[in-house]
Amino acid sequence: MSKKPHSDPSDGEDALIKDGIAGFLNPAEMFKLRRLALLSRYTVEGNLAGAHRSPKHGPSSEFASHKPYGMGDDPKHIDWRVMARTDKYYVKQFEDETNLRVYLALDRSASMGYKSADIPTKYEHACRLAAAVGYVVVKARDSVGLFLHSEKVDVRVDASNSFQHLNNLLKHLQKSPPSSGSGIAATLHEIAASVSRRALIVVISDLLGDEDEIALAMARLRKQRHDVIVFQTLDPAEMDFKLMKACELFDLETGETLSVDPSALANDYRKAFEAFIEKYRKAFAGMNIDYRVVRTDQPLDTFVRAYLEERRRLSK
């Protein structure tokens, strides 16, 4: 990789990057992310040779198992030591290494359009997060795909490992602002049904749906041996509920209104919200799903960097 990817416009790769994800990440952020890698904690099924473990046997140097010699097997793989001991022919099998397919499941429900003060909306922040993850994935020659959904999957982009692909993928995000309605659980089921081979599913959503149904959908993804990462994107006002004056709030998804006195409700609201978060935390921990809460007032590059380094550390 070039040492100055963002400083030389003549560089073709950098030019592509700028054209594709310039709307989400600035060069400084991309520079910070360039050496990071998103590793899967489990075996994945790719279509190219790569750095990730595959469930198939392949030409790698890592021994996997023995199998009786059969028709078509290359005699050079016969394990002569085993034959000397057992007088039978066994062939050595080696693990295959493949590339990683990452699917970004991005929520564009109406609630993702919320923002307080001068910070990005949850959707904008989620898009930038998706762009950062996508950039890291493509940079590592892995493939990235997209499921953009609201009540259903609105946009599906298959996984590919080119920056051109990433650029096109992100353009879909730009074209699709938050819409009304939310159906996270249903869309996750839809994703589970459509992605049959083991992959890394990155769910970026505020998860403001039915906790149990969402957990069930997540469990299905895990059952299909997908590695799942959940980034729950939340606004600080949503978490802290530090509104000053009495006001009338309307639900971004249902349009319902409610007059509230924030000072009177703040404590109970926080308790309810914390219970909600805790429920996800427990459920996802039980399913070995990597669950993180992302505040929209948090610097994105810092978060991505901290998260990926922690994940790399834990994967060793």
Nearer to other proteins, 163 or 291 (CB): 291
Contact status: 314 vs other proteins (CB under 8 A) = no
Nearer to other proteins, 161 or 233 (CB): 233
Q: Which position has the token pair 């057992």?
A: 86
Contact status: 193 vs other proteins (CB under 8 A) = no
Contact status: 114 vs other proteins (CB under 8 A) = yes
Half-sphere exposure of residue 142: CA atoms within 13 angstroms, side-chain side: 28
Contact status: 306 vs other proteins (CB under 8 A) = yes
Contact status: 271 vs other proteins (CB under 8 A) = yes
Of the candidate residues 7, 35, 86, 250, the single one contacting other proteins (CB under 8 A): 250
Contact status: 267 vs other proteins (CB under 8 A) = yes
Least CB distance to other proteins at residue 243 (A) = 8
Tell which residue, 230, 252, 251, 102, has the closest CA to residue 169: 102
The interface region with other proteins, picked from 23-31, 49-57, 194-202, 232-240 by CB under 8 A, is 232-240
Of the candidate residues 43, 160, 224, 298, the single one contacting other proteins (CB under 8 A): 298
Contact status: 124 vs other proteins (CB under 8 A) = no
Torsion region of 288: left, alpha or beta (phi above 0 gives left; psi -120 to 50 gives alpha): left
Can you tell me the distance from the alpha carbon of 88 to that of 268, in angstroms, rounded to the nearest whole number? 72
Residues 6 or more apart in contact with residue 262 via CB below 8 angstroms:
241, 242, 243, 244, 245, 246, 247
Kindly list the distances between the CA atom of residue 68 and the CA atoms of 63, 102, 108, 117, in Å, as whole numbers in the listed order. Answer: 15, 36, 52, 67
Contact status: 295 vs other proteins (CB under 8 A) = yes
Least CB distance to other proteins at residue 233 (A) = 10
The interface region with other proteins, picked from 35-43, 44-52, 154-162, 300-308 by CB under 8 A, is 300-308
Half-sphere exposure of residue 312: CA atoms within 13 angstroms, side-chain side: 11
Contact status: 240 vs other proteins (CB under 8 A) = yes
Q: Which position has the token pair 């083991």?
A: 198
Site for other proteins, residues 135 to 154, rule: CB under 8 A: none
Contact status: 212 vs other proteins (CB under 8 A) = no
Asked if 294 and 228 count as a contact pair (C-beta separation under 8 A), the reply is no
Beta-strand ranges (E) seen in 86-226 are 90-98, 101-107, 143-149, 153-160, 200-205
Interface with other proteins by CB under 8 A: which residues? 111, 114, 122, 206, 208, 231, 235, 238-254, 256-278, 281, 292-295, 298, 302-303, 306-307, 310
